[in-house]
Structure 1
Amino acid sequence: MSDSRRSRQEAMAQTRRDLVLRAVRQAVAEGGVASANVRDIAERAGYTAGALYAYFPGKQALFEAVLADSVSRAQAAAQSAKVVRGAPEGAFAARAQAWFAYFLAHPAEAHLLLHVLSSDGRGLGRMGEGLATLLLDSLAPVTQALQALGCSPVLLQRETMALLSMAVGVLLIHDPSKLSGTNALAVEALAAYIESVQLRLAAVTAQPAAAPEALAQVDLFG
């Protein structure tokens, strides 16, 4: 097979995949996770349910395919977050907020994230090694900013998981269908948390004699 033909086939396969993932997002956005089904998703994408089953063994596989795409987009958003020149200490807040803002702006994808992490999904520990790795990798720009702030290797994973827990908790509380004070308070709480982490790590850097473990964020989800 020639390279040009292989490239055309790969482009067509990617186009078909994009159509399916878009159909999943639409189905979840319109009816929620519980009501989304393979037949409806297939019709939206212009395929039969049987054709979809040839590539995805079930609805959960479709959800996870969308989520894998979503976390990659969230990672790109975090990586491209604008950081004020000459103020690298602001990188952590900018990248963490950008990661969270992606899911806030895409509620259907946030619902899928919450579903997969919930008890009726699989949870982080059971969601599949590949997808769990992608989720944590999507926070790499944030982790790198934590390192630049002086976060020790001992605390790096704890801080990252605490941030993920806080962000997921805010998404769980946030209701995109309503303009409520609760939504605003939840988002403000996350911003305040991110700022507190930044200040705490800055204090550790300024006072190297202090034990970083004593200033670590308690992981309530550990």
Structure 2
Amino acid sequence: MPQLPGGGGNRAISKAIHSRLHYPTRAEQLGIEGVVMVYFVVTKTGEIRDEKIVRSIGGGCDEAVLLAVRDLPRLIPGTRQGQPIDVGFTFPISFRMQDSKTDLLDTLNRVYPLVNQMPHLPGSTSGVAITQAIQRALVMPAEVANDTLVRKVFVGFIVGPSGVIRDVKIVRGLSANCNAAALAAVRQLPRFVGGKLNGLPASVSMTVPVQFGQLPQKP
């Protein structure tokens, strides 16, 4: 039978689909719970196709299941007599309000180093925008302003689900003045667009470099 790259059989595939689910807001508002039955084919090359809902509960749950199935990694294809073949699956996918609340509390209480949607500044999803904003806010200490060797201070912080940063600290520093300037620049960052894990708000830890010295001028 087809397998995920890490193995585990049908149970692992079902778990992978559930881990990618986002409980639709409309379903929560309407109190919709139940089981969606989804069918799909794992091709002889491990790709997923022909995915469709064979039992619906509405409220956006069907669409959420299809998105989760399409987000699965390429599988190891099934074989018959040593040759890869197409294999059809039907999986039951459960929606329970209690699961949604538990998942939400988990993502709010834990701090993750990596999530599906990383925190970012408004107007740009690029991490470069964060470092550029810090450099613009940085007040360069006189002791390093003329240094031709560019050095870095690394600052760590947590971006909460609402996008507010907290627990700003030096991860790797230089002098006391450079460390203080780096912390001050990071604390001037605007509110982020908060990170999300599987569609749920999450706290995310981040580390950014702050450069000191004569930075190269843009042409």
Fold similarity call, TM over 0.5 = no
Q: Looking at both structures, which has the greater relative contact order when contacts are Cα pairs under 8 Å and sequence separation is at least 6?
A: 2
Indicate the structure (1 or 2) with the bigger Cα radius of gyration: 2
Per the normalisation by structure 2, the TM-score is: 0.28
Q: Which has the higher strand share?
A: 2
